[in-house]
Structure 1
Amino acid sequence: MHPPSSTPTGQRRIEIRQIFYSEATRQQLDPGFIPLDNCNQRPDWREYWPIRGFLQQHTLDENTLYGFFSPKFGQKTTLTSAAVREFLATVPRDIDVVGFSPFFDQGAVHLNTFEQAATNHGNSWPVFEQAVAFVAPGLDPHNVVMDSRHSIFCNYFVATAAFWRRWLAVNEVLFSVAEAGTSALAQLLNAPLPYANGFVPAKVFVQERVVSLLLLGERHWRTRHFDPLRLPMSGSIVSPYPADLLVLDALKTAAIETGHDNYLKLFQQVRNTLLDTARRANGMQAGLS
Structure 2
Amino acid sequence: MIRLYQVFYDDATRQAIGPGFIPYDNRHPPVSGWFEYGCIRDILLNTDFADDDRFGLFSPRLAEKTGLGARDLIARCEATDAAVVAFSPFLDQLALFPNVFAQGDFWHPGLIDVTREAFERIGLDVDVVAADHYADQTRSIFSNYFVARMDVWRIWFGYAERLFDLCEHGTDALARRLNGTTDHRAVAGHYPLKIFVMERLICAVLEKLGLDAEIGLDYPRYAACNPEHANAIDELLVLDALKAQYRRTGHPAFRDLHRRRSAALDAWLRDRKRKPNDIYGDPARRLSLKGLLGR
Name the aligned partner's letter for residue 107 of structure 2. Answer: N
Alignment root-mean-square deviation, CA: 2.4
Alignment of 1:35-114 (within 5 A): 35-41=23-29, 42-91=31-80, 93=81, 95-114=82-101
SS of the residue aligned with 1:232?
A: helix
Residue segments in structure 2 that go unaligned for 5+ positions in a row: 276-295
Please report how far the alpha carbon of residue 171 of structure 1 lies from its aligned counterpart in structure 2 after TM superposition.
0.8
1:34 corresponds, among 17, 22, 28, to 22
Do residues 230 (structure 1) and 220 (structure 2) align?
Answer: yes
Paired residue for 1:287? Answer: none
Instruction: Decide which of 224, 234, 239 is 1:243's aligned counterpart.
Output: 234
More helix by share: 2
Per-residue CA distance 1:204-234 (angstroms, 9 max, x = gap): 1111101111112321x35311135235369
Equivalent residue pairs, number: 269
Pick from 266, 270, 284 the counterpart of residue 275 of structure 1: 266
Alignment correspondent of 1:165: 154
Using the TM superposition, give the Cα deviation of residue 164 of structure 1 relative to its aligned residue in structure 2, in angstroms: 0.6
How high is the TM-score relative to the length of structure 2?
0.82
- Among 201, 208, 226, the residue aligned to 1:217: 208
Kindly indicate whether the alpha-carbon contact (under 8 Å) linking 2:56 and 2:146 is maintained by their aligned counterparts in 1: yes
Deviation of the 1:177 alpha carbon: 0.6
Distance 1:277 1:71, change over 3 A: closer
Letter in 1 for 2:97: H
SS in 1 for 2:182: strand
Instruction: Show the counterpart of 1:8.
Output: none
Shift of 1:283: 5.9
Deviations 1:80-108 (A, max 9, x none): 112222222211x3x10011111111101
Q: CA deviation at 1:244?
A: 2.3
Structure 1 residues 239 and 275 mapped into 2: Cα distance closer, same or farther (>3 Å)?
farther
SS, match of residue 139 in structure 2: coil
Task: Answer with 74-83 or 238-247: which moved more.
Answer: 238-247
Deviations 1:14-57 (A, max 9, x none): 11111222333222211320011222223410011121111122
Aligned to 2:79, what secondary structure does the other structure show? coil
Which of these residues, 138, 143, 155, is aligned with residue 149 of structure 1? 138
Unpaired stretches in structure 1, ≥5 consecutive residues: 1-12, 285-289
Deviates more, 1:31-40 or 1:161-170: 31-40
Q: Which runs of 4+ in 1 moved over 6 A?
A: 233-239
